[in-house]
Chains A and B, each alone.
Chain A
Amino acid sequence: MALGQIKRAVPRLSLPLRLEGEGLATIEQDSIEDVAQGVYAVLSYERGERLEDPEFGIEDPTFEVEPIDTSPWLTQIDRYEPRANVQTTEDVTELLGSIEVQIRRRGNG
């Protein structure tokens, strides 16, 4: 195999940032972890927080009536992390708990 044909993994910093060994933990670009990380970022930011793109993120759900309508979240994920294909959704009835989001990478699964 010629050198030019070797496909090298492109590292990305892990989100949230964390130490691993003597450096920061990384994940592989375009891996399922990378896609999940993109979804995590979209859901972690409140709209308007990112000065360079105020549309990024979701509206603060703190004062919304439960169950919270998550369809705008899916729209945002579709817009900002189009590699993700959200497989399951569930009603959010407890904001202080954790939400498990199952995703699949579009295209090659």
Chain B
Amino acid sequence: MGNFVELPVEVDPLALLEEAFAEYEELLQGWKPNLGQPEVILIQAIVYRLVAPLAQLAAESGEELFNQWGRKIVGLTPQAAQSATVKSKWTARDTAGYELPAGTQVNVERTGSESVGFIVVNTVIIPPGSKVAEGVLLEAIEPGEVGNGLGAANAVTLVDSYGWPETIVLEATSAGGEEAEEPAHYLGRLAETMQTLVEGVVTANDVRIVVLNIEGVGRVLVIDNYDYESKATEAEKTTTVIVASAAGTALSAEKKAEILAKLEEKREVNFIFYVRDPAFTEVDVTAAVVERAGYSHAEAVAAAKSAISAFLSPATFAQDPPGDAATWGNVKVIRYQDLVTALNNVQQVDYYTELKLAKHLGTQKAEDLTLEGVGPLPKPGTINVT
């Protein structure tokens, strides 16, 4: 695999040095660079220890960004280094019975001057009456291939100072040590993995994401298994998509056709989509408020009116959580308590003496209001605040 995401950032330290020296010479005619000279030491330090490493870092940042993207967003984990393992046979000096604790360290000589550290993986008990523990699993301390290829011919010495082991012998050839995956190899694997991912809409959330990415769409409510025409609620492979602008207004017929075309382009076989407008319900509210000390009644009325209108706005109604513009819960009831909260949160209002609501021109009451239709959204109707 090549470094296919290395950025074209190239810095020639020598050229930079020559350039800096030339400028210095121009500034101070007769000046000659000398390795032992502070100016030269400083310039060289800046170029070799600051500029060149930063340029290298910049060149490698693309690879690192894709690496992080693959790990954290795609969820493809690079292969970590693996330690070599091998089974060993431990012989005690007598049959008194001993415990060989996990983590006990030994060195296995590869050559006369080179050895590889291993630890005992699991605690092993040599019961009284026995002198030998076979199959004791050892694992190389340093991950990678460094621990591979050691066997019975390689001498094993105990690092920890237990008095009882008489001999330690490897029973097989150590194996399984692997180096960590090279970044370039990982990115190659990431690229291949991405090619296997299905580009399409499978879940309701896929639909929401695809539709929200279409220009002009601000709000999307996806009702899975709902057939908008037949009103069937358990319709398999059928999805109703309610769409609106960011302001909560209905989209044009052309825009809805564009959305449907996009979904059909990406759908799986036999999937049916309905793209429809929200069911808007105009809501009237009547309130009588008492201003908080420090505010005029007119200020309290204006602020209350504004807060009630915002509460009923189709741009933000049923956001879940509130404030997250990308969400729209399928809420079908305006809770009276929520309206009370909206009013209570108005700084200029101390309390209200009257608060009721109803569908436009209906009989207003101080109770919940059920909205009608599929994908309902309220709209402020007559907001009368005194």
Interface residues of A (CB under 8 A from B): 8, 10-15, 17, 29, 37-42, 50-53, 56, 80-81
Contact = CB atoms under 8 A, between A and B. Distances in A.
A13 B39 contact: yes
Contact of A10 (B28, B44, B48, B49): B28
B17 interface: yes
B29 interface: yes
B197 interface: no
Interface stretch (B30-38, B136-144, B279-287, B367-375): B30-38
A56 B38 contact: no
B57 interface: no
B35 A41 contact: yes
A29 B31 contact: yes
Contact of B48 (A8, A51, A80): A51
Given A29-B30, A29-B31, A52-B44, A12 B17 contact: no
Nearest to B48: A51
A81 B40 CA distance: 14
- Among A11, A12, A39, A52, the most chain B Cβ lie within 10 Å of the Cβ of A52
B38 A15 contact: yes
A81 B34 CA distance: 8
B38 A12 contact: yes
Contacts, number: 52
Contacts of B247: none
Given A51-B48, A52-B44, A8 B36 contact: no
Nearest to A53: B35
Nearest to A43: B36
A52 B48 CA distance: 7
Contact of B37 (A15, A51, A56): A15
B53 to A, nearest CB: 10
Nearest to B32: A29
Interface in B19-65: 28-32, 34-39, 41, 44, 47-49
Contacts of B32: 29
A51 B30 CA distance: 26
Interface residues on B, range: 10 to 19
B30 A41 contact: no
B44 to A, nearest CB: 5
A41 B48 contact: no
Given A8-B30, A11-B28, A29-B30, A50 B35 contact: yes
A39 B13 CA distance: 25
Nearest to A79: B35
A56 B48 CA distance: 15
Interface string B230-273: 00000000000000000000000000000000000000000000
17 contacts: A10-B28, A10-B29, A10-B31, A13-B37, A13-B39, A15-B37, A15-B41, A37-B36, A37-B37, A41-B35, A41-B41, A42-B36, A51-B44, A52-B44, A80-B35, A80-B36, A81-B34
Contact of B30 (A10, A13, A56, A81): A10
Nearest to B34: A38
Contact of A12 (B13, B39, B48): B39
B48 to A, nearest CB: 4
Task: List the 4 shortest-distance A-B pairs measured between CB atoms, nearest first.
Answer: A41-B36, A13-B38, A38-B36, A51-B48
Contacts of B28: 10-11
B45 to A, nearest CB: 9
Given A41-B41, A52-B44, A8 B34 contact: no
A53 B267 CA distance: 63
B8 to A, nearest CB: 24
Contact of B49 (A51, A53, A81): A51
A56 B44 CA distance: 13
B282 to A, nearest CB: 75
A50 B31 contact: no
A11 B39 CA distance: 11
A8 B28 CA distance: 10
- Among A12, A15, A38, A40, the most chain B Cβ lie within 10 Å of the Cβ of A12
A10 B39 CA distance: 13
Contacts of B17: 52
Contacts of A15: 36-38, 41
A52 B37 contact: no
A13 B32 CA distance: 13
